[in-house]
Amino acid sequence: MMKGNFDFYNWWKKFNRKNTYVLALVVFIITTAIYFILQPAIMEEGVLSRITTSNFRTWLPIILLSVGQTVVMLGGGLDLSSGAILSLGNVILAISIRNTDEAGFNLLIVLAVIMMGLVAGALNGFFVAFLDLQPIIATFATSFLYSGLALLILPQPGGKIPRPYTDFYRTTKFLGIPLAIYIIIAVLLIWVFFRNRKYGRFLFAVGGDEKAAYTTGVPVKGIITSTYILSGLLASLGAISYTLLTGSGSARSGEDMTLTALTAAVIGGTSFSGGSGSLFGTVLGAVILGTIQNILSLARLDSWYRTLVNAVIIVIALAGPGFIKLFAREK
C-alpha cells in the first residue's frame, strides 16, 4: 500500500507545483457542470448568454479584488484592507458622479478614485515594507481607516449613478462576449506579460524567501510595496465596476468581499506562505465561489444555509493545505 500511495503523492506534488491552478480547474468544471444541470432552461437560445453576462458583471469586483490579493500573497503578504478600499471608492463615486453631460468631470472623479487606490496601497506598502509591520495587523488597521473614511463621506447608503453608465457596464458586449470578461482577460494578459519578466521572478523570490532574495540583490522593499499598490489599484478598479453594477453607494459595500477574495485566491492554489500560486487559478477560484452561490440560490436553500455553506467552503479552503501537510508529515 505504501509504495503506491507514495509515488502518487510525489508525482502530484511535482505536478501541482508547476501548475498550481489544476485543482481549481477541476473544481471549476465540476461546479459549473452542477450549475448547468440545475438550470433546466440553460440550453435554450439566448439563456446561456444572458446568464453569463449577468454572472460575470456581478463577479467582476470580487475577481479584481482577488487578483490584487493574489499578487500580495505571492509576495508573502496579506491585504485585509482591499474591501475597505473598494467601499471608499464606491462611496466617492456614488456621491460625486454627475449626469452624463459632465463626462469630463466624471472622468476626473474616476481618476481620483484610482489615485485613492494607489495611495491607499502605498500606505499599506509603507507600513509593511518600511516599518516592518506584520501585514495582517497593518492592513487590518488600515481597513478601519478606509472604511471609516467611507462612512464619513456617506453615512447612509445613497447616491445615484446615471442610467447610461450602468447600462453600459451591464449590457455591453463585443462579439457576444460581455465587457466584464474582456476586462478579466486583459488583467490575465498583463499578468502573463509580467510573470516571465524580472518583476515576476522577483515577486516569487521575495514570497519564497525574503531573506535569501535580499542577500541575492533583489529589491525586496520595492517589490513588497508594489504588491500593495497593485492591490489598492485593483481594489479601486473593483470599486468602479461595483458602482457601475449597483448604481449606488454604501460604506459597507466591500465589507464581506475581502474574505471572499482571500478564499478565491486560496482555492485557486495560491499559498499563504508566499512564492506559489497563479492569477489564473485565482480567477477560477472566484468563479467557483460565485457559481456555488448561484447553485445555492437555485436549490432554494434558506439564506442561513447559504451562510453556512460559505463558511464551510472558507474553512476547507483555508485549512485544506494544512491538512495536506499534516498527512504528508505522517508519511
Partner 1 sequence: MDTISLHAKHIVKHFGAVVALSDGTLRVDSGEVVALVGANGSGKSTLSKIITGVLSRDEGEIIYNGDSVQFTNPTAAQKAGITAVYQELSLVPILTVAENIWLAHEPVNNMGRIDDQEAQARTGELLKLFEGTFQDTLHPDAPVETLPPDEKQIVEILKAISRDPDILILDEATASLDGRQVDCLFRLIEEWKTQNMGLVFVSHRMDEIFKIADRAVVLRNGDTVGNVDIEETTEPEIVSLMVGHERGLGRIQRKESIQPESERIALNVEGLQTDVLHNVSFSVNEGELVGISGLRGQGQDELLHTLFGNRHFTGKIELFGETITPDHPRTVINKDMALIPGDRATQGVLMTRPILENLHLPNWRKYNFPLNIGKAIRDAKRITDKLNVVMKSLEAPVNSLSGGNAQKVVIGKWLLRDPNILLLDDPTKGVDVGTKAEFYNLLEELCAEGTTVLFYSSDDQELIDLAFRVFVMHDGTITEELSGDDVNKANLVSASMGAGVNNGAQK
65 close to 81: Cβ distance less than 8 angstroms? no
Residue 213 binding partner 1, by CB under 8 A: yes
Min dist CB 215 to partner 1, Å, is: 4
The residue among 209 and 255 lying less far from partner 1, judged by its C-beta, is 209
Min dist CB 187 to partner 1, Å, is: 19
Residue 171 binding partner 1, by CB under 8 A: no
**Which set of grid coordinates corresponds to residue 322?**
494544512
As a whole number of Å, the end-to-end CA separation of the chain is: 12
Min dist CB 135 to partner 1, Å, is: 19
Residue 205 binding partner 1, by CB under 8 A: yes
Distance, CA of 208 to CA of 212 (rounded, Å) = 9
The residue among 10 and 297 lying less far from partner 1, judged by its C-beta, is 10
Residue 212 binding partner 1, by CB under 8 A: yes
DSSP, collapsed to helix, strand or coil, labels residue 209 as coil
Select from 125, 275, 281, 290 the one that contacts partner 1 (CB under 8 A): 275
For residue 207, give the nearest of 191, 196, 223 by alpha carbon. 223
Beta bridge partners of 249: 158
Select from 5, 7, 17, 222 the one that contacts partner 1 (CB under 8 A): 17
CA Rg value for the chain? 20
Select from 5, 49, 171, 215 the one that contacts partner 1 (CB under 8 A): 215
Residue 208 binding partner 1, by CB under 8 A: yes
Q: Which stretch binds partner 1 (CB under 8 A): 45-53, 83-91, 190-198, 322-330?
A: 190-198
What sections of the chain are H helices per DSSP? 2-18, 22-38, 47-74, 82-96, 103-125, 135-153, 163-171, 179-195, 198-208, 210-215, 220-246, 257-267, 279-298, 303-330
Residue 331 binding partner 1, by CB under 8 A: no
258 close to 65: Cβ distance less than 8 angstroms? yes
Binding stretches for partner 1 (CB under 8 A): 17, 196-198, 201-202, 204-205, 207-209, 211-218, 275-276
